[in-house]
Chain A
Amino acid sequence: MSLGAYVGRRLLHLVPIALGVTILCFFLIHLVPGDPARTILGNQATDQRVALLRHQWGLDRPLPVQYGKFMGRVVHGDLGTSLFYGVSAGRLVLQRLPVTLWLIGFGALLSVLIAVPLAVIAATHRDRLPDHVVRAVPLVGLGFPPFWVGIVLLLVFGLHLGRGFPVGGYGNGFTGHLHSMFLPALTVAFGISPILVRSLRASLLEVLESDYVVTARSKGLPERRVLGRHALRNAVISTVSVLGVNIGYLVGGTLVIEQVYALPGVGQLMINSINQRDFPIVQGVTLVFSVMVVLVYLLTDVAHALLDPRVRFE
């Protein structure tokens, strides 16, 4: 099967997954106590007023009917209208999507840049001091929750050490984004890179004992080339999958980080909308998130196949 056909077929899998996610999300949010009409009208509003608004929004209809109407619109690319902003929920989500994509992409890049050298140092100094340090320190780091790491980074680099980085916001233009998003991305990287280091170190150690590394050494190649062309090239194959799974997790983790750094991303929109019971937006964001996770997994599989010629597209 060609790469194109494979991607096409995998994209078809997206349909049932998205369907399942929307069902789950739709019914879950209606289980949450609290009513958008009551929230918007306030506690003083009469029951008739609230009931009228609920009727206008269609919230008094049975849930399956509401779901059917929701899905009918989704198929046409319409996520509904925000109950609070009065504009298209899809537009709102799309407007904020670039911020979140920046955060995820930049964070993943930084975590790779941190993890690869550390894993190489650890694996090539197996059971010696550098290895112990590389293994112990990130493990401690993994114990700190991202919101705490984010706040500490903000305090240290944003306020105390020369205020080199903005304490919030998304910045303007590419370099502006790069500058503003550095600390948030670093927070993301601190969460992922310990896992990457562990995985890459383990697979490097395995690969370094393999026969083909002995073959590479028997050619009299410089150790740098043995490591880069032979060992690392094989070791990253399994780590790519680990990275993919963690980026999948990260899509949800952006909620917290966007909140800490006041980033106008999808995660922040999600939190505000949950507080306001803005159902169309919550549903829209969930749908977008689930599509993103599936796409990340697909991308991971494609990357895996491109890195490993033994993998067939099936």
Chain B
Amino acid sequence: MEHATSELVPVVVSQVSYLWLIPLFPLIGATINAVLGWKLQGLFGEKPGQKGGRGKQLVHSIAVTAMAASFAVAVYAFFQLKALPSEDRFLQQTLWNMLTAGRLSVDFAFALDQLSMMMVLIVTGVGTLIHVFSIGYMAEEPAYWRFFSYLNLFIFAMLLLVMGDNFAVMFFGWEGVGLASYLLIAFWYQDKEKAAAGMKAFVVNRFGDFGFIVGLMLLFWGLGGAWQARPGVLRNTSYTPSAELNTMAAATTAAQSAALAPPVHGVKVGPTMNFRELRDQVVIEATGVKEHLVNSTVWGVSLLTLIGMLLFVGAMGKSAQLPLYVWLPDAMAGPTPVSALIHAATMVTAGVYMVARLNFLFVLSPSAMGWVALIGAVTAIFAASIGFFQYDIKKVLAYSTVSQLGFMFIGVGTGAYWAGVYHLLTHAFFKATLFLGSGSVILGCHHEQDMRKMGGLQKYMPVTRWTYLIATVAIAGFPVANGFFSKDEILWKAFTSHHLALFGTPTPWLGPAIYVIGLIAATGTSFYMYRSYYMTFTGEYRGDTGHGDAHAAVAHAPAAAAKVAHAPAAHGHADAHAAPAHGAHAAAPHDEHDEPDAHDDAHGGHHGGVPHESPWQITVVLAILAAGSVLTLFLGIPMLWSHVPPVLEHWLEPVLLAEVHWPEMPHAMEWLFQGLGVLAATVGFVAARAVYKDNRNEQALLAMIERWKGVWTTVFNKYYVDELYAAVVIAPFQALSRGLSWFDGRILDGLVNLAGTVTRFVASIDGAIDRYLVDGAVNAVASITQGAGRSLRHLQTGRIQTYLYGALGGALVVVLVNFLLP
């Protein structure tokens, strides 16, 4: 990680024309399935709940083909990138200009460097496998097309996030994955709790996104993007950025915009959204940008620390760190492939990716780094301890994910960027394996998620068992699978880092402290993972073997009646958020997570009562991912063993150029710490084996729980964090909204009603005038006319003789007048 700053030069960009294809394929897949999916699925006259017919084949073929095509293009890009000299590996494609204002020019553009290349390969590769897995897992789902459409949409957004050349495109992806996550968590939206979980994820992420966007704006401001000229902005440079930003009319095209900004030492300087331009002007010291940023303060706080913290708030939301992690365990309400893809392998690592991408910025602020690492460490141990006593297999994995994300943030926080990113990669493999394994278990046990109802599954599900075991070994940190290599590197770097700071003052003890926390968390990781393994796969099957009949008759009776509807009444949640007493009973009602597949008689009869191995789409994917969990260890063989830098570190070196000084440590010490890592894993393993293997120590376990009941209840109820949120965040908000509602109901409505009453009074006067005066005059004319008509109509008898009398009378008058008048 040692670089001489003087060697740093602007990034050399290779323009290519096919990058847009990578996100395009999933977008097409999502669009086709969203618009035509339900038609395609019903094309061959299938009933909605039917298992894997030809219509469904069509739907998943579209989705999987899109993913495979995307992966193929990514692999092609990888080889092209690899062919370039290592310092110049940067593929870029600009599609169109989105915004030009003064010097600021934002393009819709994609970029691939070593870091985003790795992410793209993970997203498309693991994504493809999980699509295949979903074919088996979701086979009975009526809204099959909707699922695959969402899944493709997620991949599209995730690719925007990692491939975006600038903050704008990244932010599109950032919000897009949030949307896809929301849609998929609330996939079974008829169930109120699942819909609520989706909303929770979305709302909590809003908090994070707010921090993220404020951080971006602050960074933009710090680089000189302000409407008013500020004194002292960017010394050493020859231009005043604010003046040009003010004259929007001065530049409307990219060329004009570029002309406004004379490059300083060959680098574009000033406010930018582009990662590459930002990197260039920050890392090349001759531009003076670095000096300016380091010396800037806002209200006495270092600007860079503030930016780093706010960006990390965004990462906290997306990557589920304390205190914004609460949405991730609830996100397990989504289908299991979603948990594996979004809430373990890809989306939740977006925060880690972002911090690693901006490593050159974070490294300038030891305080920001210190906070990132500290929060990561606290999250790691906090979530690990919650994982100890969860009974829902997916909840265990969810807290494990939160904990592992904490490890990644320890890595990127202490400056061991490549190690954090490497843990991201290894975690993508082993956690995807674990989640998909749990999905396979859940499917095999007829949608049972409670580990107390499992046990002995090694007999029924050999493939799932072995892959789960391999992934458990990987996450626990034994040096035969990938997890050891990333976690050990992170912890070692944490121990040796002495440059971290909190509140702007250097705190050399922070690194070792984080190491100790991390080591304890690693022990816990090993413990809860082996616990879940032993509870699930060893001992005797504790589920109801008469499942098919008894279950369908009792718990699933409403579901059987409603078939496609999900019968929310049949849900009893073990994690009952507001019932502490509930947790005190070991035999608490367990989860009845009804997956909305057809829980009818055919289901029970088809499967029989005993668990069964999953279809080939599931086992093949599990095998591939488990193999990946082992094979990716070769990317991170430590220098201590091989005397060459790890493959991945070497690959990422040009991107992760942040300059962190690690003190030289004796080799013996490094060996010792690796030994400590293995020891931690072993301790966890032995403890879990002693307690949970074959379910043989159940009495002792219950006695222990009884003895430490207070602690156990607290941990089992997740330290009452949800209740804390309810009291601290939700309750004040509800009080506020009640107050506002009162204000609205009484004051505002009163004003509105007053205005209404006044208007009505005026209107009634107007009405009276209208009615009596105007209408009276009109009516008078009308009635006079009518009266005249009524009396005159008697003359019109229709009788010829009457008219004759008239004529005679007339003649008589004429004669009389003639005679009488002189």
* Mutual binders A and B: no
A contacts, CB < 8 Å to B: none
